[in-house]
Amino acid sequence: MTTFLQFLEELEQNRLRVVIPGEEVERLAERFGSAVRSMGWWNKGGDGSLEIPMGNITEAARALDNRVLREAVEQLKSPEQFTDMLTRSTAAGQLIEALSKLYLQQFQRRVERYQEASDPMEAERLRREISQELFGA
């Protein structure tokens, strides 16, 4: 039997990602604001999809208490019910904000590693990753 921690470590090690189709990204952005697009890598120049590392989702979910996480799930599932009350302070907004902050922190750490890299191969790999995230190419 796999423990919770082992499961999370496996998710992180395998770099599993959740892909949100472009139409869903746009629907969520209309409801929750443009921060939705910064929860992961947004394929702006392509199909508009959003890739979110599974490890980020689990980390953001752990940062919320159970009640807030449950409310976030309900708000994300109900397309019209919460439209009037959706603001940055709602549970879904808190989850989106947590994912956005986490992704930005990871990107900043990657840029810092690139700037400090002494190994040319590592620097080139990081440059490609950063370029892919910024420009989709």
Whether residue 57 has pLDDT greater than 80: yes
Confirm whether 87 is domain-assigned. yes
- What is the domain range of residue 60? 4-101
52-77 average pLDDT score: 79
Q: Are 100 and 39 in contact (CB under 8 A)?
A: yes
Confirm whether 111 is domain-assigned. no
Confirm whether 126 is domain-assigned. no
Confirm whether 97 is domain-assigned. yes
73-97 average pLDDT score: 63
Confirm whether 59 is domain-assigned. yes
> How many domains, in total, are found in the chain?
1
pLDDT for res 14: 61
Confirm whether 65 is domain-assigned. yes
Q: Which of 105, 29, 17, 7 is nearest to 57 (CA)?
A: 17
Can you spell out the DSSP letters for 45-114?
TTT--EEEEHHHHHHHHHHS-HHHHHHHHHHHH-TTTTGGG-STTSHHHHHHHHHHHHHHHHHHHHHHHH
Confirm whether 33 is domain-assigned. yes
pLDDT for res 81: 46
Confirm whether 112 is domain-assigned. no
